[in-house]
Amino acid sequence: MGPELLGRLVDRHAAALVLYARQWCAAPEDVVQEAFVKLTLQRPPPDNPLAWLYRVVRNAAVSAARADRRRRRHETRAAERAAVWFEAAPGAALDGRAASAALHGLPLEQREAIVAHLWGGLTFTEIAAVAGCSSSTAHRWYVAGLNALRERLGVTWPNTTPAPR
């Protein structure tokens, strides 16, 4: 398959293929990119490249979704067996199990920002580099996560959120 035909296929159909893959998986762009790579390796090229792409995208998206579900089940079971994240000190106002459950209940981005900043000591710029976002987005995740924890745990204290670094 020549680069001109491949370029036309990408230009005309990549967005629709991403939309198609989004029905099944959380990373449709990756699935579509892999399908185009596989297409370039086909010898001889398929008679109907567009239909071939749709079949490959569908199969890969379904497989990716299945793998994601397996991974989440495995992570959930592992998390249930893991020790709590917090151990309450004698006389502590906060219950360690409740705090762990509240932290586990946060969206991944918020939990990642809180753990990386508070326990890992990473700056918001460093968190952004790891998470692939801007430092202001990492800071927003952190603040939103702290606010959600406060609400879930029924804890009120002054807002002492550090400014992004």
pLDDT at residue 29, as a whole number? 96
pLDDT at residue 104, as a whole number? 87
CATH fold for domain 83-153? Arc Repressor Mutant, subunit A (1.10.10)
Distance from the Cα of residue 38 to its chain's centroid: 25
Q: What tens-digit pLDDT sequence spans the chain (165 residues)? A: 788 999 999 999 999 999 999 999 999 999 999 999 999 999 999 999 999 999 999 999 999 999 999 988 888 887 677 655 555 566 666 677 788 888 888 999 999 999 999 888 999 999 999 889 999 999 999 999 999 999 988 887 665 555 555
Dist. CA 71–CA 64, nearest whole Å = 10
Dist. CA 40–CA 59, nearest whole Å = 17
Peptide bond into 44 cis (omega under 30): yes
pLDDT at residue 123, as a whole number? 94
Q: What single letter denotes the amino acid at residue 127? A: I
pTM equals: 0.50
pLDDT at residue 144, as a whole number? 96
pLDDT at residue 88, as a whole number? 57
Structure tokens at 122: 């990473």
The structural domains of the chain, with segments of one domain joined by +, span: 3-80, 83-153
pLDDT at residue 86, as a whole number? 57
